[in-house]
Structure 1
């Protein structure tokens, strides 16, 4: 019996040892096991990165949960250059990248259409953490009275096009005095450059926008009712500076539109036959204006066009834009910054007034970047400085403002046949830079043309 008891005890001990060894093997090393769990949890909780097809998302983490990502302190400095970090091999978006960009409906759009609040309206808050905070696909919405009785305008046709799900009818194109609130500044200061107020302190913002206090400042076509024409549709010519216009003889056609938009180094004298002579809206940033005067002075560009019908539309990417805007509206020297002490009438003429000045809303420029020009650059090292080109902002602003849009001097698939600018004295190859995606813009212009939303000038 004693022997049996000893055998039973020995078997029990062996069994316990086997069970213990199996347990240790399953748990060892515990740090790796826990690491796998933590990795899985991190992936599950992390906001999705930008999709490969660059399809815009519908949320803004900073507005969903009250958190925000502080702006990159170097971002404002990086945007100071007109063209930054030249690309020898610019990004080439695939065709399906552009097509997919217009494939899904946004919650932000639904919220925008429901908004009937008086100015300034609160931004929409689409649900769901699907984007990194710097994207910010959530925008202010406003109610805008229609300026025309055009039944066949872009706003009616775009809803049925491939761009319909991207288009927000009630997003403000321009900012003005009613937008300068502490609440809005708190919301937008997390976005640097043209996409927010990250480089602009609240006092500077308020002082500048306070002078933009009339309907002329928030309406792009502010003189439509006083124009002596019987048209029910506003027709706008948007003129880029591409070499395709050299020898085009489109000047008379361009001047025949109700409104003529131009940008940056728009040399007119001596090229009227090809590009026309009128300018109703001139789009620029302070930086691009100063760089254009330095770079294209030899071609005849000495400053913005000046005429009684010309309006000046600032594309702000730094506080220097707000400072120059205020100086121009008040006919006083620029208070500080790179243009300190300069007389704004030197650029805009002695008859410039606050009613002739406009400024793009940062929500609008961020919306153009996110929904119309969502480039793969946003996934790389230059995401903080990437923005739509000045010409692209101008053309897409016209798309959101005018009933009919004709585009001249913009990039087309045969761009290599033409010099960079129509006023170049010799052929200059088109240059590509890190802060714009010109190839993507070119594809978007083709899609807008094919959809019948714009008429794009192309050589046959």
Structure 2
């Protein structure tokens, strides 16, 4: 059985039922307990010591896992609740909180800088439960979409493979709560962090933008991510799985149950796995940037990704032929039509969702 492991890369642990303010100082990240239990704080660039209140719609620990759509909410439809339960029954094994191992499994790769050489203790961070989540793909369709405000308004924002955000805020938003990584990205981070010509490094500013947030990756990525974290002087809550979380043997049966028809494709993408993982802790998913085609319905051309090449890849950014992006897009489109509002796929300019 696969299991998630959690590492704390320089970030302090959080008791489960307490809310904290995260601030940064010359000594590093610091958490202080807040007086208001249902407020959530985070840092923002340009505010080095003062916490900044962010609007969230996360449920409290007492609510998590209970009433999915409270009476009087805009999602109180029993049909929608049943559809969400059906989807979660299929994806439940992918929930990160259920797959954590609490002990340090690599004592040599996570050591405190002390004479005792004791391994870093595991964090007790938990994802929790959110009513709305934005899963932001990297498709070029986002350029000119003006979806930034819509994305930032969601309760939890998930991105893929440390994309560029600065300079694209109007279209892709600013916030990031979780980043899901494929196997290649951590290696590129390590290479980029070691470039002698620092002006060529595209990842330093990107990682600082998401400092203190959650990274989800394969266990083999841990050494690369720890090294990059040390070089860039950033800290993350790192969740890792003992085996790949996007294997066809794992994803295809889940997708088949959700779609109510056989889904059998080799090499599911990281985006596909991210969407399925998000269903385990989000009541409503809003997908942005999941459009694999070179042209939209109006025959307007779009680049594969909305941001330029990072300069580290051996080949320029292009459509990965091993993934079945067309089939995955049809899967999302089918859920957009049949999931009764649980999943909404947005294509084009925002304001029409």
Normalised to the residue count of structure 1, the TM-score between the two structures is 0.45
Unmatched 5+ residue regions in structure 1?
1-62, 64-143, 181-202, 225-232, 329-341, 379-385
Residue matched to 1:389: 269
How far 1:148 sits from its partner (Å)? 6.3
Q: Which residue of 2 aligns with 1:249?
A: 146
Residue 240 of structure 2 corresponds to 359
SS at match of 2:145: coil
2:54 corresponds to 1:171: no
Please report how far the alpha carbon of residue 149 of structure 1 lies from its aligned counterpart in structure 2 after TM superposition.
3.8
SS class of match (2:90):
coil
Measured against aligned partners, the alpha-carbon deviations of 1:59-95 in whole angstroms (never above 9, x if no partner) come to xxxx9xxxxxxxxxxxxxxxxxxxxxxxxxxxxxxxx
The structure having more radius of gyration, on CA atoms, is 1
Name 1:273's counterpart in structure 2: 170
**Secondary structure of residue in 2 paired with 1:397:** helix
RMSD over aligned Cα, in angstroms?
Answer: 4.2
User: 1:386-426: per-residue Cα shift (whole Å, max 9, x none)?
Assistant: 2x21222222211221112111111266756321011249x
Equivalent-residue separation in structure 2 for 1:322 and 1:300 (angstroms): 20
Q: Partner of 2:343 in structure 1?
A: 454
- Aligned equivalent of 1:323: 223
Find 1:418's aligned residue among 284, 302, 305: 302
Q: Cα offset for 1:439?
A: 1.4
Deviations 1:125-154 (A, max 9, x none): xxxxxxxxxxxxxxxxxxx98356431489
Are the structure 2 counterparts of residues 205 and 309 from structure 1 closer, same or farther at C-alpha, using a change threshold of 3 Å?
A: closer
Matched positions, count: 248
CA gap of 1:166–1:253, structure 2 versus 1, over 3 A, is closer
Aligned partner of 2:252 among 358, 369, 393: 369
Residue 213 of structure 1: how far off its partner (Å): 3.7
Q: Superposed, which structure 2 residues align to 1:18-33 within 5 Å? A: none
Contact 2:283 2:342 in 1 (8 A): no
Please give the secondary structure, in 1, of the residue aligned with 2:159: strand
Higher fraction of helix: 1
Q: Which residue of 2 aligns with 1:433?
A: 321
Match 1:312 to one of 190, 215, 234:
215
Report the alpha carbon displacement of residue 237 of structure 1 after superposing the two structures with TM: 1.0
Give 1:186-197 correspondences, 5 Å limit: none
**How far apart in 2 are the matches of 1:361 and 1:156?**
36
Q: 1:273 to 1:146 in 2, by over 3 A?
A: same
**Deviation readout 1:243-292 (Å, 9 max, x if unpaired):** 00001111111111121111114111111111111111111145223337
Tell me how far apart the structure 1 counterparts of residues 243 and 77 of structure 2 sit (CA, whole Å). 23
Preserved contact between residue 269 and residue 300 of structure 1 (Cα < 8 Å): no
Distance 1:369 1:361 in 2: 19
C-alpha contact 1:236 1:261 (8 A) present in aligned 2: yes
TM-score (norm 2): 0.56
In 2, the alpha carbon distance for the partners of 1:401 and 1:441 equals: 21
Among 277, 281, 285, which residue is 1:405 paired with?
285
Contact 1:212–1:358 (CA under 8 A) maintained in structure 2: no
Partner of 2:48 in structure 1?
A: none
Could you tell me whether the CA contact under 8 Å between 1:284 and 1:390 is conserved in 2?
Answer: yes
Q: Structure 1 residues 156, 389: CA separation in 2 closer, same or farther (over 3 Å shift)?
A: farther
**Is the partner of 1:313 in helix, strand or coil?**
strand
Q: How far apart are the structure 2 equivalents of 1:150 and 1:239? A: 23
Which residues of structure 2 form unaligned runs of 5+? 2-61, 70-74, 111-118, 193-198, 257-261, 310-315
Q: Secondary structure at the match of 1:455?
A: strand
Asked whether the equivalents of residues 292 and 325 of structure 2 are also in contact (C-alpha less than 8 Å), the reply is no
